[in-house]
């Protein structure tokens, strides 16, 4: 069990000693797996249009500085990635992921808990 499935079942008001509790945990695991499988497939489609190599990553650079005696030194520094650029690339990927997830029956691309268009909003743990 994970904190997510425990919180999910508690949010539904199912106590741990209730007979439906194991079914709730199993339902959470099934839905989580199905969502992540579909999301990975949609993300693969989006990665074709917005490849990983476009993302900026942290890297090392060199800087020169003078010490208090006027001597020049070189130091290696870490250069942070361009977070603004990476966020805009993520948004571009989501333009492909959202419709793909909707085609697979999900109401949203953020979480399976937003629901499915082909499954009622009230969970039935026997599925």
Confidence of residue 127 (pLDDT cuts 50, 70, 90): very low
Distance between first and last Cα of the chain: 19
Q: Where are the domains positioned within the chain?
A: 3-114
Nearest CA among 13, 15, 28 for reference residue 113: 28
Q: Partners of 76 in the beta sheet?
A: 62
Contact call for residues 114 and 108 (beta carbons, < 8 A): yes
- 3-class state of residue 64 by DSSP: strand
Buried-exposed string 23-45: b where 16+ CB fall within 10 A, e elsewhere = bbbebbeebbeebeebbeebbee
* 51-103 pLDDT per residue, tens: 999 999 999 999 999 999 999 999 999 999 999 999 999 999 999 999 999 99
Instruction: Say how far apart CA 109 and CA 126 lie, in whole Å.
Output: 24
pTM for the model stands at 0.75
């Amino acid at each position: 069990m994970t904190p997510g499935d425990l919180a999910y079942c508690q949010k539904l008001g199912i106590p741990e000693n209730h007979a439906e509790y194991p079914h709730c945990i199993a339902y959470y695991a099934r839905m989580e797996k199905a969502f992540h499988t579909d999301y990975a497939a949609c993300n693969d489609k989006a990665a074709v249009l917005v490849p990983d190599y476009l993302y900026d990553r942290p890297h090392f650079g060199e800087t020169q500085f003078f010490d208090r005696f006027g001597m020049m030194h070189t130091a290696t520094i870490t250069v942070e990635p361009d977070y603004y650029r990476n966020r805009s690339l993520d948004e571009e990927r989501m333009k492909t992921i959202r419709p793909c997830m909707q085609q697979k029956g999900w109401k949203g691309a953020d979480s399976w808990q937003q629901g499915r268009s082909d499954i009622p909003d009230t969970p039935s743990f026997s599925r």
